[in-house]
């Protein structure tokens, strides 16, 4: 069996491979661009979920603290409520200080803590709602308008003490 490419002139074989090399480069750039965009998007989504979970954990911990600071709180604890509290996590007040250790990765002055007593009292079995809010600025925000994403989590529990 004779290989047919041996009969072609060398310049014909060379020209054919050069034209394909340019197309391969363009295809590689397109595929890599899409792949990098998907990888960055996956990273951004993962970071947003992590930050939301951090806020959710802080809200649960805050609600757990609020339910033991009701009207019947032990003398070692201060009584919280029933008036609504809103402040930043970095405030010196006792309420936001209880969730500050759980806000890893957040700037305390950019996180809002809201506590409200839903049943207008802080008696046993009345409900308290603890809300923690913050933002996440995605890496891809530079390409899509530079707008942060608002995140918040709420935990509601009945007062135990």
Give 103-120 pLDDT, tens digit per residue.
999 999 999 999 999 999
Residues spanned by the domain of 104: 9-158
Band of residue 150 on the pLDDT scale cut at 50, 70, 90: very high
Residue 16 has pLDDT above 70, yes or no: no
Q: Is residue 80 part of a domain?
A: yes
CA 68 – CA 155 distance, rounded (Å): 15
Q: Which residues pair with 113 in a beta bridge?
A: 87, 132
**Mean pLDDT of all residues belonging to the chain:** 89
The alpha carbon dihedral of 61, 63, 65, 67 has a sign of: negative
Is 66 contained in some domain? yes
Phi and psi at residue 92, in whole multiples of 5°? -80, -5
**55 occurs within a structural domain:** yes
DSSP string, 123-151: STT-EEEEEEEEEE--GGGGTTT-PPEEE
Asked if pLDDT for residue 85 goes beyond 70, the answer is yes
Please state the domain count of the chain.
Answer: 1
The predicted-structure confidence for 57-80, as pLDDT tens digits, reads as follows: 999 999 999 999 999 988 889 999
Torsion of CA 132, 133, 137, 138, to 10 degrees: 60
Q: Is the dihedral of CA 53, 56, 57, 58 positive or negative?
A: positive
pTM: 0.80
Q: Is residue 114 part of a domain?
A: yes
- Residue 23 is assigned to a structural domain of this protein: yes
Q: Does 62 map to a domain?
A: yes
Q: Is residue 112 part of a domain?
A: yes
- Tell me if 123 sits within 8 A of 156, measured CB to CB: no
- Pairing type for strands 85-88 and 112-117 reads antiparallel
């Amino acid at each position: 069996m004779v290989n047919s490419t041996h009969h072609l002139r060398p310049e014909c074989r060379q020209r054919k491979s050069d034209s394909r090399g340019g197309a391969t480069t363009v295809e590689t750039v397109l595929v890599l661009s899409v792949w990098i965009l998907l990888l960055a998007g996956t990273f951004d989504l993962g970071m947003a979920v992590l930050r939301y979970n951090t806020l959710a954990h802080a809200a649960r911990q805050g609600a757990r603290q609020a339910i033991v600071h009701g009207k019947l709180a032990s003398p070692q604890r201060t009584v919280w409520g029933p008036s609504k509290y809103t402040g930043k996590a970095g405030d010196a007040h006792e309420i936001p200080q209880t969730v500050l250790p759980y806000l890893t990765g957040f700037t305390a002055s950019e996180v809002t803590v809201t506590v409200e007593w839903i049943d207008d009292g802080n008696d046993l079995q009345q409900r308290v709602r603890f809300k923690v809010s913050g933002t996440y600025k995605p890496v891809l925000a530079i390409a899509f308008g530079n707008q942060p994403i608002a995140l918040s989590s709420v935990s509601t529990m009945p007062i135990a003490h």
